[in-house]
Amino acid sequence: MFAYCADPATLDTLPWLSCFLTTGVHFAFYAAFIKVVLLLAITAPVALAFGFAGAMTARSRILPVSWLGKGYISIVRGVPDIAFFLFFVIALDQGFEYLRHVVLCPDWDQPVRQGNDFLVCPAAKLPLGTAPEWQHEFYGFFLAVITFALVFGAFAANVLYGAMRSVPRGQMETAEAYGMSRRQAFWRIMVPQMWVYALPGLSNLWMVLVKATPLLFLLGVEDIVYWARELGGTKTPRFTDYPHGDWRMWYFLALLVFYLAFTRVSEVLLERLNTRLSRGQSTITKRAGA
C-alpha cells in the first residue's frame, strides 16, 4: 500500500508492521468484520420473523398446525447447534441442487444418490464451477443466513410463545367484549404488549447469536476466525514477504476486544429499548395494586 513497502526485508519494526497490516489479505480480514455485522443485521430480523411465525403456529387452535409449530421449536432446540449447522447446510445445499437437477436435466438417466455420493448434472451445481469467486461467497453467506435464522428462530419462537401467554387474558376478553374480533385483539392488544415480556429473552438470544457468529467458519465462510487463524499462524520467508512466528494469540485477542465492544454496545441499546417499552408499566402495576 505504501511506497516504502517494496522491500519489506529492509524495513524497521514500525514501517514493517504498517506494511504488514495493509496487505491484501489483511484487508480481507478487515472486511470479514463487516461480513459478521452484516450477517447479524440480516439474520436477526429474519430469525425474529421465523420466531413470530413459529409462535403463532404453536398457539394455533388447529392441532396439526400447533404440533408443527411446537415440533419445530422442540426439534431445533433439542439438537446441538454445531450438529444442526453442519447437517442442515449440507441438506439445504443438496435440496437446492436436486431441484435444479430435476428442472435442468430431465434426460439424466443416472441415479442422483450413488452410495454415499450425491451426484447431479454439472448444470445443476450451486454455484457453477465456472462461476466467479463472489458467487461462491454469496451462496455460502446465503446458506449461513438461512441456517442461523432457522436455528435462532426456534429459540425466538419459544420466547415469543411464552410472551404471548404472559399477556393477561382479561385484556383480550375485554377487547373482544368491546367488539374487537379475535384477530383485531391479537394485533392491537396482545402483540404491542408482548414485547415487554419478550425483550429480556430476546436480548439474551441476541447475545447468543453474536457469540455464535464464529460458526461461520464451520460453514465454509471466510470469516474473522478463519482469517485470524490464517494470518496469525507461523509464516516463513519461503511462503511470504512478511515472515513471523505464531501470532494467533494477538489476532484472537483482537477478536476478543471486538466481541466485548460489540456486546457492550448491544447491552446499552437493549437497555434503552427495554426502558422505552416498559414506560408506564410500573404505573399500571401501582394502580392495579391500589
CB-based burial label for 65 (10 Å; 0-12, 13-18, 19+): middle
pLDDT band at 37 (very low <50, low <70, confident <90, very high): very high
C-alpha cell at 163: 410472551
Residue pair 73/157 in contact (Cβ under 8 Å)? The answer is yes
Output the average pLDDT for the chain. 83
- Which of the residue ranges 77-86, 155-164, 208-217 would you say has the lowest mean pLDDT? 77-86
Q: Is the distance from CB of 168 to CB of 90 less than 8 angstroms?
A: no
Domain boundaries, the chain: 3-289
Give the pLDDT band (50/70/90) at residue 281: low
Which residues touch 115 (CB under 8 Å, ≥6 apart)? none
Between 238 and 111, name the one with better pLDDT: 111
Query: Where does the pLDDT of residue 1 fall: very low under 50, low under 70, confident under 90, or very high at 90 and above?
Result: low
Average confidence (pLDDT) over 8-31: 82
H helices of the chain, where?
Answer: 13-20, 24-58, 63-78, 81-104, 133-166, 169-177, 182-185, 191-212, 224-232, 248-277, 281-289
**Which pLDDT band, with edges at 50, 70 and 90, does 12 fall under?**
confident
Residue range 205-210: average pLDDT?
A: 91
Q: What is the pLDDT of residues 50-85, one digit of tens each?
A: 999 999 999 888 889 999 999 999 888 888 877 877
- Tell which residue, 209, 206, 231, has the closest CA to residue 32: 231
Q: Provide the 8-state DSSP code for 244.
A: B
pLDDT digit string (tens) for 88-101?
788 888 888 888 88
Assigned CATH class of 3-289: mainly alpha
Q: Are 186 and 55 in contact (CB under 8 A)?
A: no
Query: What's the whole-model pTM score?
Result: 0.80
Would you state the pLDDT for residue 84?
A: 78
- Stretch 7-20: mean pLDDT: 78
In the structure, what pLDDT confidence band is assigned to residue 49 with cuts at 50, 70 and 90?
very high
The separation between the first and the last C-alpha atoms of the chain, rounded to the nearest angstrom, is 70
pLDDT of residue 42: 93
User: In this structure, what is the dihedral angle of CA atoms 138, 139, 140, 142, given to the nearest 10 degrees?
Assistant: 80
- Can you tell me the distance from the alpha carbon of 241 to that of 218, in angstroms, rounded to the nearest whole number? 29
Confidence of residue 284 (pLDDT cuts 50, 70, 90): very low
- Over residues 98-142, the pLDDT tens digits come to 888 888 888 887 888 877 778 888 888 887 777 787 788 888 888
Q: Which residues contact 97 (CB under 8 A, 6 or more apart)?
A: 118, 120, 124, 125, 126
- Residues forming a β-bridge with 114: 117
Percentage, residues of the chain above pLDDT 90? 21
pLDDT, one tens digit per residue, over 240-269 is: 777 888 888 999 999 999 999 999 999 999
Instruction: Give residue 238's pLDDT.
Output: 64
- Cis bond before residue 127 (omega within 30° of 0): yes
